Structure 1
């Protein structure tokens, strides 16, 4: 975990420099609404270089660099160097560095770093979740009508808008609020911290690098994590629900109505 934190801080320094850079940020289109800056490319390379120096045997799955097979290990490091690219480009101060480790098919480590706040959220499977050096407590469940719920919403024809609209309509009468700040990795980690009481997504198209690190943190903080069919280890994460075990079932029922 020390190496992951070192890599995240180095990437965060690169992103912070870009965020505060005077003038416009050059970017190229990857698709209709996906943007990649040279900052997130540089951040991903910095993460890979830092980890490879300490652990040359591991493989990588990166949003920008794709798959790098491992040399002699069943460990894969899953990287989103800049989760919240649109926020970054529009100077909204809500984005993160997300790094997870998968051993075989099992997610074992997760780290989400908010560079502007210098806030490090991390977890190791079976060892709890942490904010910096402070272990996150296992929180009690709030009543449904007091819950603040995070989500990611589809945009610009990316994803299933009708599903998201239906699910929003199902939840809105029952909860205290719904938020979509724009960095899934942070929102999922925040569910583990209790800043959100739950997180779900189905209409938005989330990739493994968007959610892997947050899943480890949320689970180690006591949350129940599954897809909306109730599977806790699906082959493909086509949907996601994270909540306190006492609220997971009712939320899943509402979202599946």
Structure 2
């Protein structure tokens, strides 16, 4: 990792995301000719998921052969040396992609041991690169981003993920929606958790939460790094900033975090 002739890890991740994004753009514009197979209730894997993940792994491995991988499609590959794991969701928003909804992303994170240290969320249709390194800030392209001032609760636009079919806890989600809907300006469910979490750091959403929906580490890891480096508070709904599993999530401005956590925790 210290070879000066090799690109830094974050530059490699950004490059890998762009290459994968080119594949996804190709697939998006070819939608209708996509062959896809079911791999569970409302969960589809396409040729483009697998191809994008392969190109990410190949790109990172060429520059940093020692790292391990955790991919949504390929599973876990141990590190050759050290404890660095690259966490990949090659197509976050698969259902949007298949239905030609133009909201999906490439999401790549890094964990050093148990700590999330790098995050890249790339929206290929907009060519928008959001990225962060722990302790070095969050960026949109070359521009540093910070969480804007907190809005009053009644002015806040929130984002979430909702369960569907056999994935998640519908009663919990409905209780939380019932608690929040009368008190905020709006709630959105765009369909790419990595983007929504990162967008909370930009202030496009005032907060993101999820509990009823089932989210895996690759769905949230990169967005968490970006949101934290932009200035958001990020924990699970028990208030733990580093849970063993991200079974729930709250991303919010520090001035609104406590109020939202109390409301969500009390929802029944």
Identify whether the pair has TM-score above 0.5, normalized to the shorter chain: yes
Is 1:11 the counterpart of 2:44? The answer is no
* Offset at residue 153 of structure 1 (A): 0.3
Relative to 1, partners in 2 of residues 1:22 and 1:143: Cα closer, same or farther, differing over 3 Å? closer
* Offset at residue 22 of structure 1 (A): 5.7
1:129 to 126, 138, 162: 138
Structure 2: distance between partners of 1:217 and 1:237: 16
Q: Secondary structure at the match of 1:56?
A: coil
Alignment correspondent of 2:3: none
- Equivalent positions of 1:106-145 (< 5 A) are 106-145=115-154
Aligned length: 257
TM-score normalised to structure 2 length: 0.95
Is 1:169 the counterpart of 2:202? The answer is no
Structure 2: distance between partners of 1:34 and 1:68: 23
Alignment correspondent of 1:68: 77
Structure 1: distance between partners of 2:12 and 2:193: 23
Structure 2: distance between partners of 1:22 and 1:168: 33
TM-score normalised to structure 1 length: 0.99
- Say if 2:156 and 2:185, in contact at 8 Å, map to a contact too: yes
Deviations along 1:190-238, one digit per CA (max 9) or x if unpaired, are 0000000000000000000000000000000000000001111111111
- Equivalent positions of 1:37-76 (< 5 A) are 37-76=46-85
Stretches of 4+ aligned residues off by more than 3 angstroms: none
Deviations along 1:153-207, one digit per CA (max 9) or x if unpaired, are 0011210000000000010111100000000000000000000000000000000
Structure 2: distance between partners of 1:246 and 1:23: 45
Q: Secondary structure at the match of 2:116?
A: strand
Alignment correspondent of 1:207: 216
* Consecutive unaligned residues in structure 2, runs of 5 or more: 1-9
Relative to 1, partners in 2 of residues 1:22 and 1:207: Cα closer, same or farther, differing over 3 Å? closer
